[in-house]
Chain A
Amino acid sequence: MAARPASDGRLGRMVLLGVTMVFLALFLLLPLVAVFVEALRGGVGVYLESITEPDAIAAIKLTLLVAAIAVPVNVAFGLAAAWAVAKFDFPGKSILVTFIDLPFSVSPVVSGLIYVLLFGAQGWFGDWLVANDIEIIFAVPGIVLATIFVTFPFVARELIPLMTEQGRGDEEAAVSLGASGWQAFWHVTLPNIRWGLLYGVLLCNARAMGEFGAVSVVSGHIRGKTNTMPLHVEILYNEYNFAAAFAVASLLALLALLTLVLKSALEWRYGYHGKGGGH
């Protein structure tokens, strides 16, 4: 391609940049600012009260609990799945990879409904659960299950390409030098994937705390019991308690910002690391 006049390129660049900036400001920055403005509209006192009243505390606790269960479970499953896909050949591999993406492609509401269908009173296992006095739907276990389902792909998807690219060579080398499977994993595999894994954990955690649709279906919205933070925000909002709704929402927004900062820091580190390794 022949070189174009510089002014032509500059104009195009400015238009592109302008459109992007306006779009960003309108659709991303403005709502974010609005959340904090609305949250603090009633003053700091109201803000603090909104996030420390018992139902809010219960919602925050439940959200943390759900994330504390869902994230480690998905780290374990994600590692196992990524390991299997990246390091071994087996029939049905491509089907497994497709299934890992299922939670991303299906609407979260459907994900929630699946669990109602399975574990609800009228569901497949409903009678058995009632007979054994086990509560899943409209209780914490249901929320945890739905969250695990929705956030499953984050760790696995982050690790599969990374581990596939790294291949089996390093692990084979470790084992040929006398390392056990566990030693090879701990001393060789884990350090090789640590940044990617952390990145996946971060995204998984953000989604686990922020998930609304699937959790909404299985939660039952019992105040102080089965309300997570996003559900709590919705209830407050529907009760026209805007200041409180935005106050709790601002916590979620803060979480999102923190995630972004950590993610950028990791990307910087990760990218730098990748270049060093590639020589």
Chain B
Amino acid sequence: MSIAVDNVVKRFGNFAALNGVSLEAKPGEFLALLGPSGSGKTTLLRIMAGLEFPDAGTVLFEGQDVTGLGVRDRRIGFVFQHYALFPHMNVADNVAFGLTVKRRRERPKRAEIQRRSQELLELVQLGHLGKRYPAQLSGGQRQRVALARALAVDPKLLLLDEPFGALDAKVRKELRRWLRDLHDRMGLTSVFVTHDQEEALELADRVVVMDQGLIVQVARPQIIYDEPATAFVFDFVGDSNRIPVTVEGGRVMFGGEAVDVAVEPCPDGPALLYFRPHDATLVEEGAAGALPMQICQAVHLGGMTRIEGKIPGVDPLIDVRTGGREAPPAGRAAGLRLERARLFPAPAGG
């Protein structure tokens, strides 16, 4: 099922949570809403679900306007950040809840409900835990129960609010792959909220980067990483280095010297040069077109070397990763050649 929001605005008192946001998830797509806290991603998800209502704009399911419908009538699956399992019901009853509250006419027979609940528990690999109570489960198990419960009503759209936020790193990685697999098998359309860029890049078909109530970029993970649309996206997604430079006649200048790097055209004036740690190499000191850098620390980590360096007048230290097998000595002066970088005009007043 496709879901679209069109020009959605939402305010909480004086705080503008969403400032006119439009987005569409195609049928079968797995979308990640990625952004720092306060960027509006959870509000957007809750508006899609019908748990919040926009001040302006529309929500469309398969092209049908559902803006005025509450969560009860939208027939979506929603997984809450802290799972919201009902503590007084055992796991099987939790999963069956969506079926037991159906109107009498539509409600399956008791035996059928039990069978369906058991089936869903087996789907999330918890078939043996139906009689347990939520408090007796681990975080990862609760998460899977929450998912099974959401799937009980046969939703075509699955919305997940920070689904892995409360889990430890190892469980999180396992569940990620498992969730992606489940999404594909069941032919769902899914949207999940996360502040973890690694999670978004690994899991999603497309990543929606949000900041201050606006969508900054929507693209495939690879594009988000390699071609960030703004300085914010570059900074937020992946490790990055930032160097203030000036653009003169289309050339990137640092400390009065031209820097040799291929970048998108940028208007003359102050600008910010961003690059990933692995998109730079060390060269001889004073090499033409390279940035001057003094090596502060170099550590050999498995197949690569991690170097921290100081470029005069730039804070914080520059982070570089090279494939070199030999760690250069600390204190040595070197040059830094950028292989790939992006240039953004410096923000006014910044």
Contacts and interface: CB of A to CB of B under 8 A. Distances in A.
Interface string B66-109: 00001110011110101011111100000001100110000000
Nearest to A194: B88
A127 interface: no
Interface residue range, chain B:
20 to 34
A188 B98 CA distance: 12
B153 interface: yes
Contacts of A192: 86-88
A122 to B, nearest CB: 47
A191 B101 contact: no
Contacts of B254: none
Interface string B258-289: 00000000000000000000000000000000
Given A174-B101, A179-B97, A169 B80 contact: yes
Interface in A140-180: 169-170, 172-180
A4 interface: no
Contacts of A177: 97-98, 101, 149-150, 152-153
B87 A277 contact: yes
Contacts of B78: 172-173, 176
Interface residues of A, number: 20
A191 B133 CA distance: 14
A269 interface: no
A276 B86 contact: no
A187 B85 CA distance: 12
Contacts of B71: 172, 175-176
A278 interface: yes
Contacts of A178: 72, 75, 98, 101-102, 153
Contacts of B149: 173, 177
A276 B84 contact: no
A264 interface: no
B123 interface: no
A279 B51 contact: no
30 contacts: A169-B84, A170-B84, A172-B71, A172-B78, A172-B80, A173-B80, A173-B84, A174-B86, A174-B97, A175-B71, A175-B72, A176-B76, A176-B78, A176-B150, A177-B149, A177-B152, A178-B102, A178-B153, A179-B101, A180-B101, A183-B101, A191-B89, A192-B86, A192-B87, A192-B88, A276-B133, A277-B87, A277-B135, A278-B135, A279-B136
- In order of increasing CB-CB distance, the 9 nearest A-B pairs are A177-B98, A173-B84, A169-B84, A191-B88, A179-B101, A176-B78, A176-B71, A277-B87, A279-B135
Interface of B: 49, 51, 70-72, 75-78, 80, 82, 84-89, 97-98, 101-102, 133, 135-136, 149-150, 152-153
